[in-house]
Amino acid sequence: MDSLELKTLILEELNNIAPEIEPHEVPDDQDMRDALELDSMDFLNLVTAVSKRTQAAIPEADYPKVLTVNGMVEYLLNVLN
């Protein structure tokens, strides 16, 4: 998967969790929890869904690395390649 495919996948899963959020409103470089008012359960559901779809394990210790869309894309690119 390339970075665009990963970003699309992340936004799709985010939309499944919080359908009221428009994909174009999601900032690439801000903490998604703060910018989109996601609670900890929503964020956990997002990480779990993305992990499941990509078959890439994201351990809890690495959550600080995936708080932004760009961070999650970069993390997944490193794990998947």
User: In sequence order, what DSSP letters do the residues of 11-78 get, joined into one string?
Assistant: HHHHHHH-TTS-GGGS-SSS-HHHHTT--HHHHHHHHHHHHHHHT----GGGGGGGSSHHHHHHHHHH
For the chain, percent of residues with pLDDT exceeding 70 = 100
Mean pLDDT (whole number) for 11-39: 93
Over residues 58-81, the pLDDT tens digits come to 999 999 999 999 999 999 999 998
**What band does 25 get if pLDDT is binned at 50, 70 and 90?**
confident
* pLDDT of 26: 92
- Per the CB < 8 A criterion, the answer to whether 76 and 56 are in contact is yes
* Gap between the Cα atoms of 33 and 43, Å rounded: 7
Check whether 51 has a pLDDT greater than 90. yes
The class of domain 3-80 in CATH terms is: mainly alpha
Check whether 23 has a pLDDT greater than 90. no
Check whether 24 has a pLDDT greater than 90. no
